[in-house]
Amino acid sequence: MTLQSGSIRRRLTLGAALAITLAITVSWLGLTILFDRQVTRLAAQELEARSNVILAGFEPDRPLTEPPKTLGGDPRYLSPYSGQYWQIEIASRRYHSQSLWDTELAVREQPPPRGRFALYEAEGPDEQRLLVLDRLLQVGPQAVPLRISVATSRANLDEARSYFERGVIPFLVALGAMLITGSAMQVGLGLRPLAQVHHRIAELTAGTRRRLGQDMPDEVRPLATEIDNLLDDRDARIERARRRAADLAHTLKTPLQALLGETRRLRDGGNGGAADEIDQIADSICSSVEHELGRSRIRGEGRANLGQVAGNVAKVLRRTSRGDDIELRVDIADDLFARIDAHDLTEALGALAENAMRHARNRVVIRAARRGDRIDLGVQDDGPGVAEAQLSRIMKRGETSADTAEAHGVGLALAHEIALAADGTLRLENLAGGFLVTLSLKAG
């Protein structure tokens, strides 16, 4: 998995878990080493005390003699291979505790400096590993060198360390689990601003928010600022493109009007046929210009209340010439919203409803219903409908032929463009008693 893919939360949590596991393992090793050093230090103190007890068995004002077997006062010195041993060297002669039986301590060849202690490990009887405390003194009137070596088996120390290692593992595992859980919670809290960004971007898409805003944590604010700047730049570019399209359409509209004036002169001069052909071509171009003027006003985004927009369109149409003759009914709930600019929806629905009023006999109904994540906005009239052959031409993008205009109005083409800009669809169908145009949009 690369750094550019996958879950940030998963990577951070996994990294924290690995780091914590490594730290816990190192801590276990470190604690074991510290415990071993501590018990070794305590054992050394015990050996030093035993060495002092053995030293106390010699009288400083008398010549050194062979020490008794009971020297040291510990019964374990009398039991073979008991794990507690002493060995004394007087004038190159060695004496040892009965626990050594027929062996000697494997002390270092060179004794430590006089009055100093040397602590080291050595092999003992019965394959025991021993901890040896070695010291060199001068005792008696003749200052005879006296080397005292006391030893204890490391078996007890190793057993204590083993108990400690096994006992500390559950604690460290529990500690690691708590740290990993805490780390996962911390990652969740740290990534919460990104979830906030995601939520606000969803609101941008739904049209309920214009910009991300600056009320975010310091670490996320630069990202929000850049996104808002991109949106500002996008809006500015779109607005410039709309203005250029509108300017071009207006630029074409003026010479077309002049061309229509020339046709009147041709007709007055007796060239009625040529004038009619030019009028037909000019009317087609004018329809295209009007269509482009409408397209230049399309925004394609936002959030609109369908009931409110339909109500406003109905109020306008009831004041038209056929407003008293046609029953215009709006059947839309107040809580239906679609992802489309309210101005775009007004223009599209106005064009559809105007066509329906023009071709209806008695009644036009505007209704809307939600189906999953989309809303179907329908305009139904009781008119004669449209020939099936013309339906396919009407649905083609930018199609504004004269036949289509006669069938159901050039407003359908503009409504189609608005639907496409809002990621919607426009569906036309003939009914048994009329005609239905359905504008399907994303629910807002």
Distance CA 148, CA 75 (A): 18
Span 49-63, average pLDDT:
79
User: In sequence order, which residues have a C-beta less than 8 Å from that of residue 429 and are 6 or more positions away?
Assistant: 435, 436, 438
Look up the domain containing 399 and give its range.
Answer: 304-442
pLDDT of residue 181: 92
Distance CA 66, CA 428 (A): 123
Residue 344 DSSP label? H
Mean pLDDT of the chain: 82
Q: Do 364 and 349 fall within a single domain?
A: yes
Q: Do 177 and 241 fall within a single domain?
A: no
pLDDT of residue 291: 56
Distance CA 325, CA 363 (A): 9
Domain boundary among 259, 276, 297: 297
Q: Do 317 and 335 fall within a single domain?
A: yes
Q: Do 69 and 149 fall within a single domain?
A: yes
pLDDT in tens, 226-260: 888 888 888 788 777 777 766 666 666 667 666 66
Q: Is the confidence at residue 438, as pLDDT, over 90?
A: yes
Q: Is the confidence at residue 69, as pLDDT, over 60?
A: yes
More confident residue, 255 or 114: 114
Q: Do 342 and 427 fall within a single domain?
A: yes
pLDDT in tens, 385-431: 888 777 767 655 444 433 443 444 457 777 888 888 888 899 898 88
Domain boundary among 109, 137, 153: 153
Beta-carbon count within 10 A of 409 CB: 20
Q: Which residue has the tokens 């600056």?
A: 214
**% of the chain exceeding 90 in pLDDT:** 30
Distance CA 131, CA 129 (A): 7
User: Do the beta carbons of residue 412 and residue 392 sit within 8 Å?
Assistant: no
Long-range contacts of 325-328 (CB under 8 A, 24+ apart): 325/362, 326/357, 326/360, 326/362, 326/363, 326/364, 327/362, 327/363, 327/364, 328/353, 328/357, 328/363, 328/364, 328/366
- We report the CATH number of the domain holding residue 395 as 3.30.565.10
Q: Is the confidence at residue 293, as pLDDT, over 70?
A: no
Span 101-105, average pLDDT:
89
More confident residue, 274 or 313: 313
Q: Is the confidence at residue 298, as pLDDT, over 80?
A: no
Q: Which residue has the tokens 């669809």?
A: 425
Name which of 115-124, 187-196, 242-251 the model is least confident about.
Answer: 242-251
Domain boundary among 122, 153, 184: 153
Q: Do 168 and 255 fall within a single domain?
A: no
Q: Do 18 and 117 fall within a single domain?
A: no
Beta 363-371 vs 144-153: how paired, if at all?
unpaired
Q: Do 81 and 165 fall within a single domain?
A: no
pLDDT band with cut points at 50, 70 and 90 for residue 17: very high
The domain tally of the chain equals 4
Q: Do 221 and 270 fall within a single domain?
A: yes
Name which of 40-54, 203-217, 239-253, 417-431 the model is least confident about.
Answer: 239-253
Distance CA 352, CA 356 (A): 6
pLDDT of residue 1: 41
pLDDT of residue 48: 92
Span 373-377, average pLDDT:
92
pLDDT band with cut points at 50, 70 and 90 for residue 283: low
- We report the CATH number of the domain holding residue 116 as 3.30.450
Q: Do 167 and 81 fall within a single domain?
A: no
Q: Do 277 and 409 fall within a single domain?
A: no
Question: Has this prediction a pTM greater than 0.85?
Answer: no
Distance CA 96, CA 37 (A): 28
Distance CA 345, CA 418 (A): 8
H helix or E strand, kind and range, residue 293: helix 272-296
User: Do the beta carbons of residue 129 and residue 121 sit within 8 Å?
Assistant: yes
Q: Do 124 and 83 fall within a single domain?
A: yes
